[in-house]
Amino acid sequence: MSFLRAFGYRLPPLSVSNDALEKRTGRAAASIEKTSGILERRYASDEVSVADLGLAATNVCLENAGLTAQDIGLILFSSGSAERIFPGPASVLAAKLGLTATPAIDIPVASAGSLIGIAFAADLAPRYGNVLVVASEIMSRRISDTDPDTAILFGDGAGACIVSPNEGFARIADTALFTDGNYADALQLQHGGSIQMKGLDVIIQASRKIPRSIEDLLTKNNLKPADISVYLMHQANINLIRKVATALQVSEDLFFRNIDRYGNTSSASLLIAASEWRAANPNLPTTPIVLAAFGAGFNWGAILALPA
């Protein structure tokens, strides 16, 4: 048995508006908002690394959990925008935390990596103790203004989560993860290149696969979409969130949303959204919660959390 114990997040201070991107990309600010739901996003400064952002989010998460770095038994770090191929930011974060023997593993899966990390942590926490799941992205360094369809979407940020084997505000009841490599080329980042995305392919597949994974998970646990109090989903595009809500036949108001302020922060977005939701709802949940994400690979899935 494993529990969601705490969340935390950190965002760079620099806000980049749609008006600023209109000047860079030629894409009208009103069009950006209409097609994505984004009004602004954050960009990290040149001296900040993916691990730096991850550390800042981790420190907030540890404080919220009432823990120190020495209480962590395992680190799972997701990023699709790390500065180098290897070693990844997981070991760098461990060193920044003063940990010299704690296992720290990278999950280099854009957008869906934090969901995968939480799902893995649910199984590994009984063995390793408190598992720190971190997702940190500096996507602003992986976009090109010559591809405005992609450049307008992404922002930078980091989120963190503690999965504990013995206490927390919600129990992780079940997880479901999936991969379909037939669409791997639809969302990719080549070495030394910028993000390449076939947006129509991504949204078509995501709007089909996410609801199906949620419905299957809920059916397995004798629940219906209307039984869920909040859906914490990867903040990719406001239109995708609406499509998922429609497919599940629930109000889109059940889906926490902050994409208007931060854009798509890839794997960090789920944890940033969960952190803001938890801060706004500090009492113990009394109804089920669903976390869901879809990302490169394609990888996607859902997690069901029940009142502790």
The string of DSSP codes covering 260-288 is: HHH-B-TTHHHHHHHHHHHHH--SPP-S-
Phi, psi (rounded to 5 degrees) for 196: -115, 125
CATH architecture, domain 2-164? 3-Layer(aba) Sandwich (3.40)
Q: What is the mean pLDDT of the chain?
A: 98
- In the structure encoding, which two tokens stand for residue 122, read together? 């649910």
The pTM of this model reads 0.98
Extents of the domains making up the chain:
2-164, 170-307
Domains 2-164 and 170-307 equal at CATH topology level? yes
Per-residue pLDDT of 65-88, as tens digits, reads 999 999 999 999 999 999 999 999
Per-residue pLDDT of 152-193, as tens digits, reads 999 999 999 999 999 999 999 999 999 999 999 999 999 999
What mean pLDDT do residues 27-53 have?
97
- In the structure encoding, which two tokens stand for residue 79, read together? 């990023």
What mean pLDDT do residues 199-210 have?
96
Per-residue pLDDT of 60-71, as tens digits, reads 999 999 999 999
What mean pLDDT do residues 81-102 have?
98
> Which of the listed CATH numbers 3.40.47.10, 3.40.50.2000, 3.40.50.720, 3.90.1150.10 matches domain 170-307?
3.40.47.10
